[in-house]
Structure 1
Amino acid sequence: MLRKLLSHAVIYGLAAQVPRLAGVAALPLITRYLTPADYGVAGVVTAYISVFSMLQSLGLSVVLVNSYARQPLRYPWVWRQLNGFMSVWSVVYGAVVMLALYFLVPDEADAHRLQIALLSGLPITLFIMTEMQSNIYFQLAQRPLPMALRSFIVGVIGVGVNVYTIAYLKMGYMGWFYSAFTTAVVSFILSGYSIYIRQKLWPIFNFKWWRIKQALRVSLPVVPHSMAIFMLETSDRLVLDVLRVPVQRIGLYNMAASFGSYFMIASLAVSQAASPFYLQYLSLQQDREAAVKVRQLTFALMGLFLFITSVSCLWMREVFIVLIKNEALQQAYPLAIIILMGYNYRPMYLAVFNTLTYREHTNKLWRISGVAGVGNIVLNFILVPIFGYEAAAYTTFAALMYMGYAGFYMKAYKATAMVPYYPIAWLALTVSLLFIVYTLADASLITKSILTAVAGLLTILAVILYRRKLQPQV
Structure 2
Amino acid sequence: MKKNTGIQNAFKAGVWYSISAIAAKSISIITTPIFTRMMTTSDYGLAATFSSWYSIFLIICTANLSYSHSRGKIDFQNNFVKYVGATHTLSYLITGIFSAIALVFISPVSKALDMNPLLMVLLLLYLFAGGTVNLAQSENRYQYDYKKNIFITLFTTVGTVAFTFLFLIFIKENRYYAKILGFVVPAILLAGWIFISELQKKAFCINFEYWKYGLRISLPLVFHTISLNILTQSDRIIINKFCGNDAAGVYSLIYQYAMLVNIILNAINESWNPWFHDTYHEKKYNSINTNIMPLNAFVAYVCIGCITVGPEAILILGGEQYLSGKNCIAPIVLGLMAQFLFSHYIILEVHHKETQYTSFGTIVAASINLVLNIIFVPIFGFTAAAYTTLIAYLVLYLIHLFITKKMLKINLYQDFKLFMWFIIVGVYAGVSNMLYSSIIPRYLLLIFVTIIFALIFKKDILSKLRRNNV
Q: Same fold (TM over 0.5)?
A: yes
Match of 2:235 in 1: 236
Q: Tell me which residue corresponds to 1:218.
A: 217
Q: Is 1:193 aligned with 2:193?
A: yes
CA distance in 1, matches of 2:171, 2:434: 38
Letter in 1 for 2:457: V
Contact 1:346 1:404 in 2 (8 A): yes
Number of aligned positions between the proteins:
455
Q: What SS does the corresponding residue of 1:127 show, helix, strand or coil?
A: helix
CA contact (8 A) 1:15 1:147 kept: no
Could you tell me which residue of structure 2 aligns to residue 148 of structure 1? Answer: 150
Indicate whether 1:90 and 2:95 are aligned.
yes
Give 1:6 deviation, angstroms: 3.6
The farther-off stretch of 328-337 and 431-440 is 328-337
| Aligned-partner SS, 2:376 | helix
Which 10-residue stretch deviates more, 333-342 or 361-370? 333-342
Give, as a single letter, the amino acid of the residue that structure 1 aligns with 2:311.
R
Q: Is the 8 A contact 1:44 1:238 kept in 2?
A: no
Counterpart position of 2:437: 442
1:422-458 Cα offsets, whole Å, 9 max, x none, are 05534433332332233322322x2233122212222
1:108 matched to which residue of 2?
none
1:349 aligned residue (342, 347, 366): 342
Contact 2:81–2:203 (Cα < 8 Å) also in 1 = no
Bigger shift: residues 38-47 or 62-71: 38-47
**Residues 164 and 155 (structure 1 numbering): CA distance in 2 closer, same or farther, change over 3 Å?**
same
Deviation at 1:318, TM superposition (A): 1.0
Alignment of 1:299-448 (within 5 A): 299-324=293-318, 327-329=320-322, 331-410=324-403, 411=405, 415-422=409-416, 424-444=419-439, 446-448=440-442
Q: 2:137 aligns with which of 129, 135, 138?
A: 135
CA distances 1:339-395 after superposition (whole Å, capped 9, x unpaired): 123211244223212212111111121243222222112212222233333322111
SS in 2 for 1:360: coil
Whether the aligned pair in 1 keeps the contact of 2:163 and 2:181 (CA below 8 Å) is no
Partners of 2:118 and 2:255 in 1: CA distance: 22
Report Cα offsets for 1:77-123 as digits up to 9, x if no partner.
33323322221321343565986675455xxxxxxx43995497345
Tell me how far apart the structure 2 counterparts of residues 323 and 89 of structure 1 sit (CA, whole Å). Answer: 41
Q: CA deviation at 1:238?
A: 4.1
Report 1:104-143 matches (<5 A).
113-114=115-116, 117-118=119-120, 121-122=123-124, 124-143=126-145
TM-score with structure 1 setting the length: 0.81
Aligned pair partner of 2:277 in 279, 288, 301: 279
Distance 1:96 1:391 in 2: 39
Percent identity, please.
16
Structure 1: which 4+ aligned runs deviate by more than 6 Å? 30-45, 162-166, 168-175, 468-472
CA contact (8 A) 1:335 1:393 kept: yes
Change in Cα spacing, 1:199 to 1:297, as seen in structure 2 (3 Å) is: farther
Q: Match of 2:291, as an amino acid?
A: L
In the superposition, relative to structure 1, how do residues 179 and 38 fare at CA in structure 2: closer, same or farther (>3 Å)? closer
Q: C-alpha separation between the residues in 1 aligned to 2:174 and 2:252?
A: 13
Aligned partner of 1:269: which letter?
Answer: A
**What is the CA–CA distance in structure 1 between the aligned matches of 2:83 and 2:8, rounded to whole Å?**
33
- 8 Å CA contact 2:163, 2:185 repeated in 1: no
Amino acid at match of 1:263: V
Counterpart code for 2:260: Y
Higher relative contact order (CA 8 A, sep 6+): 1
Is the contact made by 1:263 and 1:340 (CA closer than 8 Å) also made in structure 2?
Answer: yes
Structure 1, unpaired ranges of 5+:
106-112
SS in 1 for 2:438: coil
Instruction: Quote the Cα distance in structure 2 between the aligned partners of 1:102 and 1:439.
Output: 50
Distance in 2, Cα, partners of 1:20 & 1:441 = 26
Structure 2: which 5+ residue stretches go unaligned? none
Displacement after TM superposition at 1:138 (Å): 1.4
SS where residue 404 of structure 1 aligns? helix
Once the two structures are overlaid, the 10-residue window that deviates more, 372-381 or 90-99, is 90-99
Deviations 1:199-235 (A, max 9, x none): 6356757x34454334322221222222222222223
- Asked if the contact 2:365/2:393 (under 8 Å) is kept, the reply is yes
Contact 1:36 1:252 in 2 (8 A): no
In 2 relative to 1, CA 381–369 (structure 1 residues): closer, same or farther, beyond 3 Å?
same
Could you say what secondary structure the match of 1:415 adopts? coil
Select which of 257, 269, 272 maps to 1:259: 257
